[in-house]
Structure 1
Protein backbone atom coordinates (compact mmCIF):
# COMPACT_ATOMS: atom_id res chain seq x y z
CA UNK A 1 0.00 0.00 0.00
CA UNK A 2 1.43 3.36 -1.02
CA UNK A 3 1.79 5.87 1.80
CA UNK A 4 -0.61 8.79 1.17
CA UNK A 5 1.22 11.60 -0.60
CA UNK A 6 0.96 14.38 -3.16
CA UNK A 7 1.96 13.34 -6.68
CA UNK A 8 1.69 16.84 -8.14
CA UNK A 9 0.46 20.35 -7.46
CA UNK A 10 -1.44 21.69 -10.48
CA UNK A 11 -2.47 25.25 -11.27
CA UNK A 12 -3.89 27.14 -14.23
CA UNK A 13 -4.95 30.60 -15.25
CA UNK A 14 -8.33 31.37 -16.77
CA UNK A 15 -8.44 30.94 -20.54
CA UNK A 16 -11.01 31.62 -23.25
CA UNK A 17 -12.09 28.79 -25.52
CA UNK A 18 -14.64 28.35 -28.27
CA UNK A 19 -17.45 25.92 -27.53
CA UNK A 20 -20.50 25.30 -29.71
CA UNK A 21 -20.10 28.57 -31.54
CA UNK A 22 -19.53 30.79 -28.55
CA UNK A 23 -16.59 31.83 -26.40
CA UNK A 24 -16.46 30.80 -22.74
CA UNK A 25 -13.90 31.24 -19.99
CA UNK A 26 -12.60 28.37 -17.89
CA UNK A 27 -9.86 27.58 -15.42
CA UNK A 28 -10.11 23.79 -15.74
CA UNK A 29 -6.79 23.45 -17.60
CA UNK A 30 -4.27 22.74 -14.81
CA UNK A 31 -0.62 21.75 -15.21
CA UNK A 32 1.93 20.50 -12.67
CA UNK A 33 4.19 23.04 -10.97
CA UNK A 34 7.74 22.29 -9.86
CA UNK A 35 8.90 23.18 -6.38
CA UNK A 36 6.74 24.37 -3.54
CA UNK A 37 3.54 26.31 -4.22
CA UNK A 38 2.06 28.80 -1.79
CA UNK A 39 -1.57 28.43 -0.73
CA UNK A 40 -3.03 31.72 0.44
CA UNK A 41 -6.66 32.66 0.93
CA UNK A 42 -8.67 30.47 -1.44
CA UNK A 43 -6.08 29.73 -4.15
CA UNK A 44 -2.69 28.27 -4.86
CA UNK A 45 -0.31 30.80 -6.38
CA UNK A 46 -0.89 30.91 -10.14
CA UNK A 47 -4.33 29.33 -9.97
CA UNK A 48 -7.70 30.89 -10.74
CA UNK A 49 -11.35 30.12 -11.53
CA UNK A 50 -13.50 31.68 -14.24
CA UNK A 51 -16.93 31.63 -12.58
CA UNK A 52 -16.74 32.14 -8.82
CA UNK A 53 -20.48 31.55 -8.45
CA UNK A 54 -19.93 27.82 -8.98
CA UNK A 55 -16.15 27.30 -8.69
CA UNK A 56 -13.63 28.34 -6.09
CA UNK A 57 -14.36 30.24 -2.91
CA UNK A 58 -13.99 29.15 0.74
CA UNK A 59 -15.75 25.78 0.35
CA UNK A 60 -13.98 24.92 -2.94
CA UNK A 61 -10.53 26.38 -2.37
CA UNK A 62 -8.56 23.24 -3.27
CA UNK A 63 -9.68 20.30 -5.38
CA UNK A 64 -7.97 16.92 -5.05
CA UNK A 65 -8.20 13.81 -7.22
CA UNK A 66 -6.41 10.51 -6.77
CA UNK A 67 -4.15 8.41 -8.97
CA UNK A 68 -6.23 5.36 -8.06
CA UNK A 69 -9.42 6.99 -9.37
CA UNK A 70 -7.60 8.00 -12.54
CA UNK A 71 -6.65 4.35 -13.00
CA UNK A 72 -10.35 3.48 -12.87
CA UNK A 73 -11.09 5.98 -15.65
CA UNK A 74 -8.14 4.77 -17.69
CA UNK A 75 -9.82 1.39 -17.77
CA UNK A 76 -13.28 2.81 -18.50
CA UNK A 77 -12.61 5.54 -21.05
CA UNK A 78 -10.74 5.94 -24.32
CA UNK A 79 -8.62 8.89 -23.22
CA UNK A 80 -5.33 9.30 -21.41
CA UNK A 81 -5.40 10.55 -17.82
CA UNK A 82 -2.46 12.89 -17.15
CA UNK A 83 -2.35 14.59 -13.77
CA UNK A 84 -4.51 17.69 -13.70
CA UNK A 85 -6.87 16.40 -16.40
CA UNK A 86 -9.94 16.85 -14.20
CA UNK A 87 -8.85 20.30 -13.06
CA UNK A 88 -7.55 19.20 -9.68
CA UNK A 89 -5.02 21.24 -7.74
CA UNK A 90 -3.66 18.20 -5.93
CA UNK A 91 -3.17 14.82 -7.53
CA UNK A 92 -2.72 12.40 -4.63
CA UNK A 93 -2.15 8.69 -4.17
CA UNK A 94 -2.54 6.11 -1.45
CA UNK A 95 -5.82 7.47 -0.09
CA UNK A 96 -9.44 6.55 -0.92
CA UNK A 97 -11.02 9.94 -1.48
CA UNK A 98 -14.54 8.60 -1.94
CA UNK A 99 -14.43 7.08 1.54
CA UNK A 100 -13.05 10.25 3.13
CA UNK A 101 -15.37 11.97 5.58
CA UNK A 102 -16.82 15.42 5.15
CA UNK A 103 -15.07 17.58 7.74
CA UNK A 104 -11.97 15.38 7.77
CA UNK A 105 -8.79 17.43 8.23
CA UNK A 106 -5.54 16.78 6.41
CA UNK A 107 -2.01 17.99 6.96
CA UNK A 108 -0.43 18.52 3.53
CA UNK A 109 2.95 20.23 3.37
CA UNK A 110 2.67 23.13 5.80
CA UNK A 111 -1.08 23.54 5.19
CA UNK A 112 -4.10 22.14 6.99
CA UNK A 113 -7.10 21.41 4.77
CA UNK A 114 -10.67 20.37 5.64
CA UNK A 115 -12.87 18.35 3.30
CA UNK A 116 -15.96 20.42 2.51
CA UNK A 117 -17.83 18.57 -0.24
CA UNK A 118 -17.62 16.32 -3.31
CA UNK A 119 -17.39 17.66 -6.83
CA UNK A 120 -20.51 18.01 -8.94
CA UNK A 121 -19.15 18.19 -12.50
CA UNK A 122 -20.29 20.84 -14.95
CA UNK A 123 -20.16 20.85 -18.75
CA UNK A 124 -16.59 22.19 -18.72
CA UNK A 125 -15.29 18.79 -17.58
CA UNK A 126 -16.82 17.38 -20.76
CA UNK A 127 -15.03 20.04 -22.80
CA UNK A 128 -11.74 19.21 -21.10
CA UNK A 129 -11.90 15.49 -21.93
CA UNK A 130 -13.53 15.97 -25.33
CA UNK A 131 -16.82 14.25 -24.50
CA UNK A 132 -19.94 16.26 -23.65
CA UNK A 133 -21.56 13.20 -22.04
CA UNK A 134 -18.67 12.46 -19.67
CA UNK A 135 -19.89 14.60 -16.72
CA UNK A 136 -22.92 12.31 -16.31
CA UNK A 137 -20.70 9.22 -16.21
CA UNK A 138 -18.38 10.98 -13.78
CA UNK A 139 -21.31 11.73 -11.46
CA UNK A 140 -22.64 8.16 -11.58
CA UNK A 141 -19.24 6.58 -10.87
CA UNK A 142 -19.10 7.77 -7.26
CA UNK A 143 -15.49 8.95 -7.60
CA UNK A 144 -16.01 12.69 -7.17
CA UNK A 145 -12.73 13.81 -5.67
CA UNK A 146 -12.67 16.23 -2.75
CA UNK A 147 -13.07 19.97 -2.36
CA UNK A 148 -11.29 21.48 0.65
CA UNK A 149 -11.43 24.53 2.84
CA UNK A 150 -8.14 26.11 3.88
CA UNK A 151 -7.75 25.93 7.65
CA UNK A 152 -4.07 26.86 7.71
CA UNK A 153 -2.24 28.57 4.86
CA UNK A 154 1.19 27.35 3.83
CA UNK A 155 2.86 25.67 0.87
CA UNK A 156 2.69 22.28 -0.81
CA UNK A 157 5.00 20.39 -3.15
CA UNK A 158 5.06 17.07 -4.96
CA UNK A 159 6.10 14.28 -2.62
CA UNK A 160 4.57 15.83 0.50
CA UNK A 161 2.93 13.35 2.84
CA UNK A 162 -0.83 13.45 3.36
CA UNK A 163 -1.68 12.90 7.02
CA UNK A 164 -5.24 12.68 8.30
CA UNK A 165 -5.38 14.77 11.48
CA UNK A 166 -9.06 14.44 12.42
CA UNK A 167 -11.99 12.29 11.36
CA UNK A 168 -15.46 13.36 12.54
CA UNK A 169 -17.80 10.85 14.14
CA UNK A 170 -20.81 11.34 11.83
CA UNK A 171 -19.58 8.85 9.20
CA UNK A 172 -20.80 10.78 6.15
CA UNK A 173 -18.42 10.14 3.27
CA UNK A 174 -18.04 11.92 -0.04
CA UNK A 175 -19.49 8.86 -1.77
CA UNK A 176 -22.56 9.03 0.48
CA UNK A 177 -23.07 12.68 -0.44
CA UNK A 178 -23.08 11.85 -4.15
CA UNK A 179 -25.60 9.06 -3.49
CA UNK A 180 -27.92 11.61 -1.88
CA UNK A 181 -28.32 13.25 -5.28
CA UNK A 182 -30.21 10.21 -6.56
CA UNK A 183 -31.72 8.94 -3.29
CA UNK A 184 -33.48 11.68 -1.37
CA UNK A 185 -34.21 9.30 1.54
CA UNK A 186 -30.55 9.66 2.47
CA UNK A 187 -30.60 13.45 2.55
CA UNK A 188 -31.67 13.95 6.19
CA UNK A 189 -28.51 12.22 7.43
CA UNK A 190 -26.48 15.17 6.14
CA UNK A 191 -27.86 17.28 9.00
CA UNK A 192 -25.32 15.60 11.27
CA UNK A 193 -22.49 17.30 9.37
CA UNK A 194 -21.37 20.68 10.77
CA UNK A 195 -20.61 23.55 8.39
CA UNK A 196 -22.27 22.09 5.34
CA UNK A 197 -21.94 24.31 2.25
CA UNK A 198 -25.20 26.12 1.46
CA UNK A 199 -26.22 23.84 -1.44
CA UNK A 200 -25.83 20.68 0.64
CA UNK A 201 -27.48 22.24 3.67
CA UNK A 202 -30.52 23.05 1.51
CA UNK A 203 -30.63 19.45 0.31
CA UNK A 204 -30.36 18.16 3.88
CA UNK A 205 -33.38 20.24 4.91
CA UNK A 206 -35.49 19.50 1.82
CA UNK A 207 -35.24 22.98 0.34
CA UNK A 208 -33.96 21.67 -3.00
CA UNK A 209 -35.92 19.11 -4.99
CA UNK A 210 -33.80 16.27 -6.36
CA UNK A 211 -34.56 14.42 -9.55
Structure 2
Protein backbone atom coordinates (compact mmCIF):
# COMPACT_ATOMS: atom_id res chain seq x y z
CA UNK A 1 0.00 0.00 0.00
CA UNK A 2 1.44 3.37 -1.04
CA UNK A 3 1.16 5.95 1.69
CA UNK A 4 -0.71 9.19 1.12
CA UNK A 5 1.15 11.20 3.74
CA UNK A 6 4.12 10.66 6.03
CA UNK A 7 4.02 13.06 8.97
CA UNK A 8 5.91 13.84 12.15
CA UNK A 9 5.77 16.66 14.65
CA UNK A 10 6.83 18.12 17.96
CA UNK A 11 4.80 19.22 20.94
CA UNK A 12 2.88 22.47 20.41
CA UNK A 13 0.68 24.56 22.67
CA UNK A 14 -2.94 24.83 21.53
CA UNK A 15 -5.62 27.10 22.97
CA UNK A 16 -8.76 24.98 23.19
CA UNK A 17 -11.80 26.34 25.04
CA UNK A 18 -9.64 29.15 26.45
CA UNK A 19 -7.24 26.62 27.96
CA UNK A 20 -3.65 26.09 26.83
CA UNK A 21 -2.92 22.42 26.14
CA UNK A 22 0.32 20.77 25.04
CA UNK A 23 -0.09 18.22 22.28
CA UNK A 24 1.84 16.65 19.40
CA UNK A 25 -1.32 15.99 17.38
CA UNK A 26 -0.49 18.71 14.84
CA UNK A 27 1.96 16.79 12.66
CA UNK A 28 3.51 18.06 9.43
CA UNK A 29 4.09 16.20 6.19
CA UNK A 30 7.70 15.25 5.45
CA UNK A 31 9.45 13.63 2.49
CA UNK A 32 11.55 11.26 4.58
CA UNK A 33 12.33 10.35 8.18
CA UNK A 34 14.42 7.82 10.06
CA UNK A 35 12.40 5.31 12.05
CA UNK A 36 13.81 3.96 15.32
CA UNK A 37 12.34 1.51 17.85
CA UNK A 38 10.97 4.51 19.75
CA UNK A 39 9.44 6.22 16.71
CA UNK A 40 10.47 8.64 13.99
CA UNK A 41 13.33 11.02 14.63
CA UNK A 42 11.76 14.42 15.21
CA UNK A 43 8.40 12.98 16.29
CA UNK A 44 7.36 13.52 19.90
CA UNK A 45 4.53 12.57 22.25
CA UNK A 46 2.76 14.67 24.88
CA UNK A 47 0.15 12.25 26.27
CA UNK A 48 2.39 9.29 27.08
CA UNK A 49 -0.51 7.39 28.62
CA UNK A 50 -2.07 7.06 25.16
CA UNK A 51 0.86 7.24 22.74
CA UNK A 52 4.55 6.52 22.40
CA UNK A 53 6.97 3.86 23.56
CA UNK A 54 8.27 0.84 21.63
CA UNK A 55 4.83 -0.79 21.30
CA UNK A 56 3.31 2.44 19.95
CA UNK A 57 6.14 3.81 17.86
CA UNK A 58 4.15 4.45 14.67
CA UNK A 59 0.52 5.51 14.29
CA UNK A 60 -1.58 4.87 11.17
CA UNK A 61 -5.03 6.27 10.42
CA UNK A 62 -7.00 4.90 7.43
CA UNK A 63 -7.97 7.52 4.87
CA UNK A 64 -11.33 5.79 4.29
CA UNK A 65 -12.59 7.20 7.58
CA UNK A 66 -12.04 10.82 6.61
CA UNK A 67 -14.94 10.73 4.14
CA UNK A 68 -17.14 9.06 6.78
CA UNK A 69 -16.54 11.82 9.30
CA UNK A 70 -16.77 14.59 6.71
CA UNK A 71 -20.16 13.32 5.55
CA UNK A 72 -21.45 12.83 9.09
CA UNK A 73 -20.32 16.15 10.51
CA UNK A 74 -20.51 18.26 7.37
CA UNK A 75 -16.93 19.54 7.57
CA UNK A 76 -13.65 19.07 5.71
CA UNK A 77 -10.89 17.38 7.73
CA UNK A 78 -7.34 17.99 6.62
CA UNK A 79 -4.86 15.12 6.81
CA UNK A 80 -3.21 14.27 9.10
CA UNK A 81 -6.11 15.15 11.39
CA UNK A 82 -5.71 12.39 13.96
CA UNK A 83 -2.06 12.80 14.91
CA UNK A 84 -1.07 9.90 12.67
CA UNK A 85 2.33 9.33 11.11
CA UNK A 86 0.88 7.41 8.17
CA UNK A 87 -2.27 8.16 6.17
CA UNK A 88 -3.27 5.68 3.46
CA UNK A 89 -6.08 3.75 1.79
CA UNK A 90 -6.57 -0.01 1.95
CA UNK A 91 -5.67 -0.90 5.54
CA UNK A 92 -8.72 -0.30 7.71
CA UNK A 93 -9.01 -1.76 11.21
CA UNK A 94 -11.17 -4.55 9.80
CA UNK A 95 -8.58 -5.52 7.19
CA UNK A 96 -5.48 -5.88 9.35
CA UNK A 97 -4.58 -8.12 12.28
CA UNK A 98 -2.59 -7.65 15.44
CA UNK A 99 0.79 -9.20 14.71
CA UNK A 100 0.82 -8.46 10.96
CA UNK A 101 4.33 -7.46 9.87
CA UNK A 102 5.20 -5.05 7.05
CA UNK A 103 8.23 -3.80 5.17
CA UNK A 104 8.15 -0.01 5.30
CA UNK A 105 11.03 1.55 3.39
CA UNK A 106 14.14 0.23 5.08
CA UNK A 107 12.21 -0.50 8.27
CA UNK A 108 10.08 -3.45 9.36
CA UNK A 109 7.02 -2.74 11.52
CA UNK A 110 4.38 -4.86 13.27
CA UNK A 111 0.81 -4.03 14.35
CA UNK A 112 0.43 -4.15 18.14
CA UNK A 113 -2.89 -2.56 19.16
CA UNK A 114 -5.73 -0.28 18.25
CA UNK A 115 -5.39 3.30 19.31
CA UNK A 116 -7.18 4.45 22.45
CA UNK A 117 -8.24 7.94 21.37
CA UNK A 118 -8.42 10.96 23.64
CA UNK A 119 -10.44 14.18 23.52
CA UNK A 120 -7.71 16.00 21.60
CA UNK A 121 -8.95 14.59 18.30
CA UNK A 122 -12.25 16.41 18.84
CA UNK A 123 -10.57 19.61 19.97
CA UNK A 124 -7.96 19.65 17.21
CA UNK A 125 -10.58 19.15 14.47
CA UNK A 126 -13.15 21.36 16.25
CA UNK A 127 -15.80 18.60 16.09
CA UNK A 128 -17.43 18.05 19.47
CA UNK A 129 -18.85 14.58 18.79
CA UNK A 130 -15.88 13.13 16.96
CA UNK A 131 -14.27 11.27 19.86
CA UNK A 132 -17.58 9.63 20.79
CA UNK A 133 -18.13 8.41 17.24
CA UNK A 134 -14.56 7.16 16.84
CA UNK A 135 -15.01 5.00 19.93
CA UNK A 136 -18.49 3.82 18.88
CA UNK A 137 -17.31 2.72 15.43
CA UNK A 138 -13.88 1.42 16.42
CA UNK A 139 -12.38 3.59 13.66
CA UNK A 140 -9.48 4.51 15.93
CA UNK A 141 -6.42 3.86 13.81
CA UNK A 142 -3.69 1.67 15.25
CA UNK A 143 -0.07 1.37 16.34
CA UNK A 144 3.04 -0.49 15.24
CA UNK A 145 6.26 -1.52 16.93
CA UNK A 146 9.52 -1.32 14.98
CA UNK A 147 11.29 -4.64 14.41
CA UNK A 148 13.97 -3.16 12.16
CA UNK A 149 15.04 0.47 12.09
CA UNK A 150 15.61 2.35 8.86
CA UNK A 151 14.85 5.29 6.60
CA UNK A 152 11.30 5.77 5.34
CA UNK A 153 10.40 8.02 2.41
CA UNK A 154 7.21 9.74 1.32
CA UNK A 155 6.77 7.28 -1.55
CA UNK A 156 7.56 4.19 0.52
CA UNK A 157 5.00 1.40 0.48
CA UNK A 158 3.76 -0.88 3.23
CA UNK A 159 4.35 -4.41 1.95
CA UNK A 160 2.92 -7.29 3.94
CA UNK A 161 5.65 -9.70 5.06
CA UNK A 162 3.78 -12.01 7.44
CA UNK A 163 0.12 -12.34 8.41
CA UNK A 164 -0.75 -13.09 12.01
CA UNK A 165 -1.84 -16.70 12.55
CA UNK A 166 -4.40 -15.62 15.16
CA UNK A 167 -6.50 -13.44 12.80
CA UNK A 168 -7.55 -10.97 15.50
CA UNK A 169 -8.39 -7.81 13.59
CA UNK A 170 -7.80 -4.42 15.13
CA UNK A 171 -11.52 -3.72 14.75
CA UNK A 172 -12.46 -6.93 16.62
CA UNK A 173 -10.12 -6.07 19.48
CA UNK A 174 -11.50 -2.52 19.56
CA UNK A 175 -15.08 -3.74 19.74
CA UNK A 176 -14.28 -6.07 22.62
CA UNK A 177 -12.26 -3.51 24.56
CA UNK A 178 -14.68 -0.61 24.13
CA UNK A 179 -18.07 -2.34 23.97
CA UNK A 180 -17.96 -5.96 25.18
CA UNK A 181 -15.70 -5.93 28.22
CA UNK A 182 -17.46 -8.79 29.97
CA UNK A 183 -16.81 -11.20 27.08
CA UNK A 184 -14.33 -13.49 28.81
CA UNK A 185 -13.95 -15.87 25.87
CA UNK A 186 -13.15 -13.04 23.45
CA UNK A 187 -10.66 -11.42 25.83
CA UNK A 188 -8.86 -14.73 26.33
CA UNK A 189 -8.74 -15.14 22.53
CA UNK A 190 -7.10 -11.74 22.10
CA UNK A 191 -4.60 -12.46 24.89
CA UNK A 192 -3.32 -15.46 22.93
CA UNK A 193 -1.76 -13.06 20.43
CA UNK A 194 1.88 -12.88 21.53
CA UNK A 195 2.45 -9.68 19.54
CA UNK A 196 -0.22 -7.75 21.44
CA UNK A 197 1.09 -4.52 23.00
CA UNK A 198 2.02 -4.74 26.68
CA UNK A 199 -0.38 -1.95 27.63
CA UNK A 200 -3.36 -3.67 26.01
CA UNK A 201 -2.38 -7.01 27.53
CA UNK A 202 -2.36 -5.43 30.99
CA UNK A 203 -5.74 -3.75 30.43
CA UNK A 204 -7.36 -6.96 29.20
CA UNK A 205 -5.94 -9.02 32.06
CA UNK A 206 -7.42 -6.45 34.46
CA UNK A 207 -10.81 -6.83 32.77
CA UNK A 208 -10.61 -10.59 33.17
CA UNK A 209 -9.74 -10.22 36.84
CA UNK A 210 -12.73 -7.95 37.44
CA UNK A 211 -15.02 -10.41 35.67
CA UNK A 212 -13.80 -13.30 37.81
CA UNK A 213 -14.57 -11.56 41.11
TM-score (norm 2): 0.88
- Matched-pair contact (CA < 8 Å) for 2:50–2:117: no
2: CA distance, partners of 1:57 / 1:207:
26
Q: Distance in 2 between matches of 1:165 and 1:172?
A: 17
Contact 2:93/2:142, CA 8 A, preserved across alignment: yes
| Within-5 A mapping of 1:4-153 | 4-33=1-30, 35-153=31-149
- Give the C-alpha shift of residue 121 in structure 1: 0.8
Secondary structure at the aligned position of 1:113 is classed as: strand
RMSD: 1.8
Alpha-carbon distance between aligned partners in 1 of 2:189 and 2:175, rounded to the nearest angstrom: 12
**Does the 8 A contact of 2:39 with 2:54 survive in 1?**
no
- Tell me what 1:165 maps to: 161
SS class of match (2:131): helix
C-alpha separation in 2, matches of 1:26 and 1:12 = 10
Displacement of 1:208 in angstroms is 5.9
Alignment partner, residue 177 of structure 1: 173
Q: Which runs of 5+ in 1 are unaligned?
A: none
Aligned partner of residue 6 in structure 1, secondary structure: coil
Equivalent-residue separation in structure 1 for 2:128 and 2:82 (angstroms): 14
Counterpart secondary structure, 1:70: helix
Distance in structure 2 (CA, Å) of the matches to 1:86 and 1:173? 20
Give the match's secondary structure for 1:52. Answer: coil
Distance 1:70 1:155 in 2: 27
| Structure 2 contact 77–125 (Cα < 8 Å) conserved | no
CA contact (8 A) 2:60 2:142 kept: yes
Corresponding pairs, count = 205
In 1, the alpha carbon distance for the partners of 2:94 and 2:12 equals 30
TM-score scaled to structure 1, two decimals? 0.89
For the 8 Å contact 2:105–2:152, the answer to whether it is kept is yes
SS in structure 2 at match of 1:38: strand
